């Protein structure tokens, strides 16, 4: 049985999903969409469910790609039952989606989540009365604590196959209801797909919904246009707006019947916001938080790197002694080990704390606050506050950052946010910055690299908005309550990203390392390095570095690990000057995003724009590298 | 989009705070808090209640 979880953003769907889904759950691309939906098989109360977590939507009137994907999934595939997750503390608003979903006529259970939040807000809800009025099972849950979840799935099992019956309480005002009935009658005998109710199709036709209009017959479309005209004349506004207020009225009605609003309990979280969104304090906190975050990641990472590198070297010295240096066997064994050790001792120590920290910030609900604080500043760059979300996610990995741009309706905003997000140093590039610059030159330099990167991103934004000017519609972003991060959700997010590293990048790292080892053994590297020497010479880097730049296109951490191998020493500061280390890092940070990011970019913004973005990044990286070489060279001795 | 977040005709809105540098306005309606860009917020017609 396929069960779809659907609800408005931040209603706790994913927490619910994670509380029942096993660790075997996967994200999958469903046909026709590029949005990843999480799904998992769950065995509960003797039933086997296939649970699908759809992206949060406010209504079925789709505007952004994420909303379109959720809607398409509901319309086209064989969903057997809908669990409508509702944030009980925002009941009146959430009911509008409930009513719209109910119209579809699919078996449905309402999950009244976050009951504790509602109580804190002084809202007490009679869920039985709500169930009676909606004629649907309504189950109270507190997902983070797992309360009511088993009960919810009992009802899911019982409700399977039962379509919602018509409900008296949900009838619309007479003239609208009449128009709707006429439309429904028109649909008899045609357009029946047996799954969606006639009422739903009729409503959507009156709302001028593109997708369902395509499916309807010409006669039905003509009739819908006629009825729409009637409604518009009597109400003096567009038909879809009339229908929207019908739903709104019904929701308010239901809310008044089932909920009593009392005095809210004092909420300490309001006071936190008072500080974190303060016009001065907010920025100070943001800055302090980012610096603390950096120090924590670097502190943990550097300590682990020191320890692990020494351990790995000792191991190889012990085991590698059996092989003779200079033989093919030695070259293979050494490079295999270097690739493995690079992943374990250089990448993981920085990657893990970085991912944990980002997942925490995301889960607590801090990102929308950052978006709020940064909106004003970002407007000067031609973006708006919502784009801080992809930018911050970019510090983790460019792939989800680019995917998150789907929340923008405008193509131009998506392109800008994608290009800028890929210029933010992702965790792989952070590994280079931390393991190279911070480790050898000191954390101050690393902070400077991050700061400089931000300046470039801002200037880049300015430059690109000049090329593609458009009035940005401005930001509309819900600011959810803070919540305690749930350990399962955070761990799952970290694991998802780590799994990608362990399964994909680490083998690539080891394979790349062996390739480089062999190339060195047979002295092919000289050819590659010679071919790249115009670039390396222009940047003032050792010629041996050339090959590592090529490998960086696969994965940016490869460059770092290979650098150790290409230079033949882990003591990089002995062979590269401060300026060279900085130029190398800056070039790595800005030039072409890695292969997986390029693949996502092609999906999100198309081939042409991806190519443009890549070319732009190489040009930018080279210019910055050359400028850094001469400027820093003049400022720094050696 | 605004209507979906309960910012529409006849709704009571409370402006909670405004971000500096021409940033967004934080508006509360029916218990949910939404940040609305300044340009957009300027176009919302309101009647002052208190």
- pLDDT one-digit tens code per residue, B4-35: 666 777 777 778 777 777 778 888 877 778 88
**DSSP-derived 3-state class of residue B26:** strand
What percentage of residues in chain A have a pLDDT greater than 90? Answer: 3
- Identify which of A352, A355, A309 has the alpha carbon closest to the alpha carbon of residue A572: A309
> C-alpha dihedral over A487, A120, A83, A59, to 10 degrees?
-110
Instruction: Tell me the chain B residues in contact with residue A123 when contact means C-beta distances shorter than 8 Å.
Output: 31
State yes or no: pLDDT of A138 exceeds 70: yes
Question: Is there a contact between A180 and A199 (Cβ–Cβ < 8 Å)?
Answer: yes
Indicate if the pLDDT at residue A614 is higher than 70. Answer: yes
Smallest CA–CA distance, residue B25 to chain A, in Å, is: 8
Whether the per-residue pLDDT at A633 is higher than 90: the answer is no
Taking CB atoms and an 8 Å cutoff, what residues of chain B touch A277? 17, 19, 26
| Three-class secondary structure of residue B29 per DSSP | strand
Q: Determine, for residues A277 and B20 on separate chains, whether the beta-carbon distance falls below 8 Å.
A: no
> What residues have CB less than 8 Å from A312, skipping those under 6 apart?
A337, A341, A344, A345
Residue A27 above 70 pLDDT?
no
Q: Which residue has the tokens 């761990």?
A: A491
| Extended strands (E) in A23-164 | 26-29, 36-44, 47-53, 81-87, 108-113, 123-125, 138-140
By the CB < 8 Å criterion, does A89 face chain B?
Answer: yes
Q: Chain B: give the shortest CA distance to residue A90, in Å.
A: 6
Residue A224 makes CB contacts below 8 A (sequence gap 6+) with A183, A186, A202, A205, A206, A208, A213, A216
pLDDT at A557 over 80: no
Query: Chain B closest CA to A376's CA: distance in Å?
Result: 4
Give the residue among B35, B32, B22 at the shortest CA–CA distance from A386. B35
Residues of B in contact with A373 (CB under 8 A): 19, 23
Q: And the tokens for A579?
A: 């300026």
Position A553 pLDDT exceeds 60: yes
Give me the pLDDT at residue A86, please: 92
Q: What is the pLDDT of residue A473?
A: 63
Round to whole Å and give the CA distance between A466 and A381.
9
Give residue A191's pLDDT: 53
pTM (predicted TM-score): 0.70
**Dihedral (CA of A492, A592, A456, A610) sign:** negative
Mean pLDDT of chain A: 80
A410-424, A463-477, B11-25: range with lowest mean pLDDT: A463-477
pLDDT for A194 equals: 67
Contacts of B14 in chain A (CB under 8 A): none
- State yes or no: pLDDT of A84 exceeds 90: yes
The model's confidence at residue A85, banded by pLDDT at 50, 70 and 90, is very high
Neighbouring C-beta atoms of residue B14, cutoff 10 Å = 11
Which residues are paired to A142 by β-bridges? A147
- Can you tell me the mean pLDDT for A79-95? 89
Indicate if the pLDDT at residue A142 is higher than 70: yes
User: Could you tell me which residues of chain B have a Cβ less than 8 Å from any Cβ in chain A?
Assistant: 1-6, 8, 17, 19-24, 26, 30-40
Considering only residues A89 and A189, tell me which one the structure prediction assigns the higher pLDDT: A89
């Amino acid at each position: 049985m396929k069960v779809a979880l659907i609800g408005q953003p931040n209603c706790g769907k994913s927490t619910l999903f994670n509380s029942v889904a096993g660790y075997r759950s996967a994200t999958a691309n469903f046909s026709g969409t590029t949005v990843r939906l999480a799904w998992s098989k769950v065995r509960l109360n003797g039933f086997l469910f296939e649970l699908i977590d759809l992206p949060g939507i406010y209504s079925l009137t789709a505007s952004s790609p994420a909303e379109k994907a959720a809607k398409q999934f509901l319309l086209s595939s064989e969903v057997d039952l809908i669990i409508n997750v509702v944030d009980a503390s925002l009941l009146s608003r959430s009911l509008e989606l409930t009513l719209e979903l109910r119209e579809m006529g699919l078996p449905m259970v309402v999950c009244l989540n976050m009951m504790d939040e509602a109580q804190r807000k002084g809202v007490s809800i009679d869920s039985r009365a709500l169930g009676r009025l909606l004629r649907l099972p309504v189950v109270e849950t507190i997902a983070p604590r797992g309360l009511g979840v088993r009960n919810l799935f009992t009802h899911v099992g019982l409700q399977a196959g039962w379509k919602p019956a018509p409900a008296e309480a949900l009838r619309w005002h007479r003239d609208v209801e009449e128009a709707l009935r006429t439309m429904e009658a028109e649909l008899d005998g045609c357009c029946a797909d047996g799954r969606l109710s006639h009422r739903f199709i009729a409503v959507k036709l009156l709302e001028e919904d593109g997708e369902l209009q395509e499916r309807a017959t010409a006669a039905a479309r003509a009739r819908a246009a006629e009825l729409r005209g009637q409604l518009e004349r009597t109400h003096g506004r567009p038909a879809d707006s009339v229908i929207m207020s019908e739903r709104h009225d019904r929701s308010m009605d239901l809310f008044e019947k089932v909920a009593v609003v009392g005095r809210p309990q004092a909420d300490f979280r309001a006071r936190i916001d008072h500080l974190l969104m303060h016009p001065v304090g907010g920025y100070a906190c943001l800055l302090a938080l980012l610096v603390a975050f950096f120090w924590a990641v670097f502190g943990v990472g550097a300590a682990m790197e020191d320890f692990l590198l020494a351990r790995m070297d000792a191991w190889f010295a012990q085991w590698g002694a059996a092989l003779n240096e200079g033989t093919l066997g030695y070259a293979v064994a050494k490079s295999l080990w270097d690739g493995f050790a690079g992943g374990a001792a250089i990448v993981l120590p920085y990657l893990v704390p970085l991912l944990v920290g980002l997942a925490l910030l995301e889960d607590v609900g801090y990102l929308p606050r950052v978006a709020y604080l940064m909106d004003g500043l970002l407007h000067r760059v031609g973006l708006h506050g919502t784009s801080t979300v992809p930018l911050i996610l970019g510090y983790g990995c460019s792939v989800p950052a680019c995917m998150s741009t789907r929340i923008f309706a405008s193509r131009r905003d998506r392109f800008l946010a994608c290009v800028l997000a890929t210029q933010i140093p992702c965790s792989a590039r952070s590994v280079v910055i931390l393991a190279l610059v911070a480790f050898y030159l000191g954390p101050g330099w690393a902070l400077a690299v991050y700061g400089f990167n931000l300046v470039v991103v801002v200037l880049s934004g300015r430059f690109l908005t000049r090329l593609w000017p458009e009035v940005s519609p401005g930001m509309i972003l819900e600011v959810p309550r803070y919540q305690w991060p749930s350990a399962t959700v955070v761990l799952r997010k970290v694991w998802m990203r780590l799994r990608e590293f362990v399964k994909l990048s680490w083998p690539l790292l080891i394979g790349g390392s062996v390739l480089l080892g062999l190339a060195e053994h047979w002295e092919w590297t000289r050819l590659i390095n010679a071919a790249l020497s115009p670039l390396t010479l222009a940047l003032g880097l050792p010629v041996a570095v050339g090959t590592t730049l090529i490998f960086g296109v696969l994965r940016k951490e490869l460059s770092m690990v290979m650098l150790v191998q290409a230079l033949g020493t882990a003591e990089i500061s002995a062979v590269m000057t401060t300026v060279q280390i900085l130029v190398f890092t800056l070039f790595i940070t800005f030039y072409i995003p890695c292969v997986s990011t390029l693949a996502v970019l092609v999906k999100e913004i198309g081939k042409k724009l991806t190519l443009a973005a890549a070319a732009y990044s190489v040009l930018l990286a080279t210019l910055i590298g050359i400028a850094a070489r001469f400027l820093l060279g003049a400022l720094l001795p050696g | 989009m605004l209507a979906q977040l309960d910012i529409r005709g006849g709704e009571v809105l409370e402006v909670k705070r405004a971000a500096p540098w021409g940033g967004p306005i934080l508006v509360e309606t029916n218990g949910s808090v939404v940040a609305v860009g300044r340009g957009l917020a300027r176009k919302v017609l309101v009647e002052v209640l208190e």
